[in-house]
Amino acid sequence: MTRRIDWSDEAGRDFQEAMDYIAVDSETAAELVASRILTAIDALGEFPTGHPGRVKGTYEKLVQKTQYIVAYTMSDRSIFVVRIIHGARDWPAGEWPAE
């Protein structure tokens, strides 16, 4: 069974801000990272392979060959992408990184 994928507004902003930041140096690199993030998220719909997240009730999936982490929740029918965060961010347990 494939789960539906939904994104929070925050995740959409995280994604766009990250791609804009990378594109300043290289649009090609931004496209590659975007593709890897989107592929990882799509794969979660088929087989959620993340581990319990730092924020209660979430899971985290490290996007291969990037420094990005997809934080999500899930049910039997859907995956909800909560945030997309760079691994170098200060991310204390139990809360989201400061903006």
**Residue ranges per structural domain of the chain:** 4-86
Give, in order, the Cα–Cα distances in Å from 76 to each of 31, 43, 84, 91.
Answer: 31, 15, 22, 28
- Quickly tell me which residue has 């859907």 as its tokens: 78
Can you give the pTM of this predicted structure?
A: 0.94
Say how far apart CA 77 and CA 66 lie, in whole Å.
27
Stretch 7-22: mean pLDDT: 97
Architecture of domain 4-86: 2-Layer Sandwich (3.30)
> How many CB atoms are closer than 10 A to CB 67?
13
Kindly report, residue by residue over 37-71, the tens digit of the pLDDT: 999 999 999 999 889 999 999 999 999 999 999 99
